[in-house]
Amino acid sequence: MVGGTLVEWSSKSKYNSFNSYKGLTYYENYKAIVDWMNGCDYLPPPVECNLDLVAECNLDCYFCITQRYLRTRREEVGEMRTLPADYMLKLVDFLTAWGVRGLCISGGGESTLHKSLPDLILHAKDKMDVAVVTNATLITDKLAEALMYCRWVAMSIDAADRQTYKAVKGRDYFDRAIAGVSKLTKLRRQTNSSVDLCYKFLVLPENTSTIYEACKLSKELGVQDFHVRPVDFERGDIRGHKQLNISREKVEEQFALCHEEETKDFHVYTVTHKFDPEFHVKHDFERCLATPLVIPILQDGNAYLCVDRKLEVHFRSGLCYPNPENILSWWGGERHRQMIKSVNIEKCSRCTWSQYNRQIEETVLKDNMCLSFP
């Protein structure tokens, strides 16, 4: 704690992937988006493609933001629940030529259930930065070798012990997940890979008292980053959704202990800036403007406006399958622009791009930083 403010990372780690101020490096994109929203014809390509390969998962997390279409209303996905392997390679080639810089493979469920994931990573690694989000329970030798070429790999564990893991993940796969993490950290050392391995932990009522234990475990396992943040449990499409009711004081105590474990090779990120002081969802911006920074492409062959509104028909931007070049027929078009203008942020839950939206308002619309002066 500094002056009553929760410390999210050490001063030595302020230039990190979890710090939303990195969005200021996209300032030229910000300006172009605002110009486009005001009527200009050109919208630059997105910085990143968020790619969901498969609409399946081997876990049953009760807080999962994709549970609506993974389990309760599976028909919303449609007939295509897995992207064809040859299409994904064509998509990477198109994205590279278009100017997209990053490929985040997240799954829509569990990305490693797609048997062609290693081939996709190897195909993309020399064309763009690649990242993978996984629950780490299905890490084969072939996949582990491919993951060494990624910029980062985020492993969603959310627990420090088997009992807690089973309670929050719905399966008794804790040992399997830890074995997956260990396989990757060992191979990273052996190959001298530069991949950042991150142990991710969502704060839930069931695991609040074990945050520090999870931090120590992740350090022992040899990951580079321990990332912890409150869960977004206020989404209307989550089973039993409600405001998160946990003790801020207890969480702060756990966070402080975690930061004491930091070294030059092990970094702790206790990320809370997208929540209010009680860890509830907040919106400190007025308009949705940042979505064109990322194009989410799902396993149904469509792109959606935002990573937070996947498989919602109203936010279906356009078709990407079977020909990726079809994206150019709708990206930056009038329908795309009007879709963004129609977003009512009061109906959104936690916004992944909240700080980017705020930065656009503060630096482009208002120029509060006087950017013409160094």
Q: What is residue 25's predicted lDDT score, i.e. its pLDDT?
A: 97
> How far is 98 from 171, CA to CA, in rounded Å?
41
Domains (ranges, CATH) in the chain?
45-350 (3.20.20.70)
Q: What is residue 73's predicted lDDT score, i.e. its pLDDT?
A: 66
Q: What is residue 64's predicted lDDT score, i.e. its pLDDT?
A: 87
DSSP 195: P
pLDDT digits (tens, 9 = 90+) for 160-214: 999 999 999 999 999 999 999 999 999 999 999 999 999 999 999 999 999 999 9
Averaged pLDDT of the chain: 94
- State yes or no: pLDDT of 2 exceeds 90: no
Categorize the per-residue pLDDT at 107 as very low, low, confident or very high, splitting at 50, 70 and 90.
confident
- State yes or no: pLDDT of 4 exceeds 70: no
- State yes or no: pLDDT of 282 exceeds 50: yes
291 touches 305 (CB < 8 A): yes
Lowest mean pLDDT among 110-119, 205-214, 341-350: 341-350
Q: What is residue 347's predicted lDDT score, i.e. its pLDDT?
A: 87
226 touches 269 (CB < 8 A): yes
Q: For the chain, where are the E strands, in sequence order? A: 48-51, 102-105, 129-134, 152-156, 196-203, 225-230, 267-270, 294-297, 302-304, 316-319
Categorize the per-residue pLDDT at 5 as very low, low, confident or very high, splitting at 50, 70 and 90.
low
pLDDT digits (tens, 9 = 90+) for 19-78: 999 999 999 999 999 999 999 999 999 999 999 999 999 999 988 887 776 766 667 777
Q: Tokens standing for 267?
A: 């970094």
pLDDT higher at 243 or 336: 336
Predicted TM-score (pTM) of the model is: 0.95
Cα 145 to Cα 141, 209, 238, distances in angstroms = 6, 35, 35
pLDDT higher at 136 or 349: 136
83 touches 140 (CB < 8 A): no
The backbone torsions φ and ψ at residue 12, rounded to the nearest 5 degrees and listed phi first, read -75, -15
> How far is 43 from 332, CA to CA, in rounded Å?
5
Lowest mean pLDDT among 241-245, 340-344, 354-358: 241-245
- Of 93, 106, 100, 110, nearest in space to 169 by CA: 110
Q: Give percent above pLDDT 90 in the chain.
A: 84
